[in-house]
Amino acid sequence: MLQEIAFGEIGMTAKDFWNSTPREFHFRQKGYYRKVEIQERNNWERVRWIVYRMKTSTKSESKGGDISLQDIALFPWEDKPTEKNNTIDPAIIKRMADAMDRHAKEPNQNGKIVPIGEILNK
């Protein structure tokens, strides 16, 4: 089995295979599979880019709104996009400010650091 991997997949010579320690062979095999994985990822990302360019080059799609590469395909090695909501409810800001004001007026208990959750729940 190891010889099949060495000679067939990795392309090692018999001399290289027989002169390798198990550790060297392991790292050579690991490096080879990593190289193949990178090539496969590049191929899939290239296909996605082609599809993206085809979809965004037509007039009907370009008027329809923005489309991202992840809308075409989201690959397992990519992080899922998250919705970013940068707005904070003004009521939450007021509640936090009131809680901090209350806390500032209380005597400090031996320099103890109080978590914000305790302050807000008072």
Domain total of the chain: 2
Owning domain of residue 89: 83-122
Q: Pick the residue with more confidence: 15 or 119?
A: 15
Percent of the chain at pLDDT above 90? 34
Whether 11 and 49 share a structural domain: yes
pLDDT tens digit string along 69-109?
Answer: 888 888 888 877 666 666 777 787 778 777 777 766 666 66
DSSP the chain: -HHIIIIIII---HHHHHTS-HHHHHHHHHHHHHHHHHHHHHHHHHHHHHHHHHHHHSHHHHHS----HHHH---TTSPPP--------HHHHHHHHHHHHHHHHSPPSTTPPPPHHHHHH-
- Check whether residue 88 and residue 44 sit in a common domain: no
